[in-house]
Amino acid sequence: MDNNDEESQNSSEMSFNEVVTATMAVGIAIWDMLQVPTQGAMDGTHIDVIVDQGVRDNHINRKGRPTQNVIAICDFDMRFTYIGAGTEGSAHDMRVKRKAEVDASFPHPPSGRYYLVDSGYALRHGYLTSYPNKSYWVKEFQTRRATDAQELFNRHHSKL
């Protein structure tokens, strides 16, 4: 290998290293932007129930079955910190949340911290939702990359 080939190789290696370093720096900067002080995650589910005919309609969920809403909060050590049950299956997530919040044992997020919640909950102080009208589910990103910062945020939000 002559001197010109060595210089060219060294220059290529240096350029490659600079590109890798810059890419990593941008990636780290984006990840740092996405680091939000989260307390855990909150979500709801439905449990099938048998109820008296007189109150059955109140318990019919969007899938046409009588259910009861259950709301749960989990920390990132996978421990439940709150479980609330008893709201009729026809209730919207926000109504279930509001009912839970008046429970004396409900762990409100500390100041400056957030619960990750899905789009069934409104964006409120202490509750961090995904961006609306943007791709969200991990499955949606299996065949393509996020197209903007909001989709990138949603991608990371959905992984937590």
DSSP 3-state of 151: helix
- CA dist 98 and 3 (Å) reads 73
Cα three-residue angle 91-62-104, rounded to 5 degrees: 25
- CA dist 129 and 118 (Å) reads 5
- What region does 78 belong to: left with phi over 0, alpha with psi -120 to 50, or beta? left
Residue 128 forms beta bridges with which residues? Answer: 116
Domain-wise residue ranges, the chain: 38-109
117-138 pLDDT per residue, tens: 888 888 788 898 888 877 766 6
23-32 pLDDT per residue, tens: 444 444 444 5
17-72 pLDDT per residue, tens: 555 454 444 444 444 545 677 888 898 889 898 988 888 888 888 899 999 999 99
**Distance, CA of 29 to chain centre:** 20
List, edge to edge, every strand of the sheet that includes 38-48. 80-88, 67-74, 38-48, 114-116, 127-128
For the chain, what's the residue count?
A: 160
| Entry pTM | 0.69
Question: What is the pLDDT, as a whole number, of residue 17?
Answer: 53
- CA dist 46 and 120 (Å) reads 14
Q: Please name the amino acid found at residue 137.
A: W
DSSP 3-state of 73: strand
